[in-house]
Amino acid sequence: MNVYDFTVKDRSGNDISLSQYRGKVLLIVNTATSCGFTPQYDDLQDLYEAHQKDGLEILDFPCNQFGEQAPGSDEEIHSFCTGRFGITFPQFAKIDVFGENQIPLYKWLEENSKFEGFSGFMGMIVSGAVKKNDKDYKNNSKVKWNFTKFLIDREGNLCARFEPTTKMSEVKKQVEELL
């Protein structure tokens, strides 16, 4: 099984097979519009502009499960992201990344990656928030917060997971290595 085996919903509710991204390097991100990490949209857009021509696609999945930080409709979220950050990469329908309504793609991403910990000052803040809901968060692979990123190679295999506190320079480096 790989990422191409999954179908997701676009902002209009249409089924989109991820097989349409076959041969591309993918960065899959669960996002939120009112999060301390929301400025990462700028870095993601810069990365996309620099490397889309090389075969990079960033797949944006808004999620309202962490602190209710993506409360708008799919269209409101998209309007905010394009207006404020100028994003041009694909943005899909809002999803659940955990719980009974977790989409299969995120179940697969969790099952095939490990939580490596948070870093820096923001890592201490996020750790405190995460620990309230998941006392064993350090020992499971659940997605912990908004702007967790998953790197997929051109064959559809999961290669890396980046927590939201990972420096974007590290994300960029590993993306460029795959390209």
Question: Which residues are known catalytic residues?
Answer: 35
Q: Which distant-in-sequence residues (6+ apart) come within 8 Å of 146 by Cβ?
A: 30, 31, 32, 35, 37, 38, 63, 66, 69, 70, 164
The Cα 119–Cα 109 span in angstroms is 21
For β-strands 15-17 and 25-31, DSSP reports them as unpaired
The Cα 51–Cα 44 span in angstroms is 11
DSSP string spanning 125-144? HHHHHHHHH-TTGGGS----
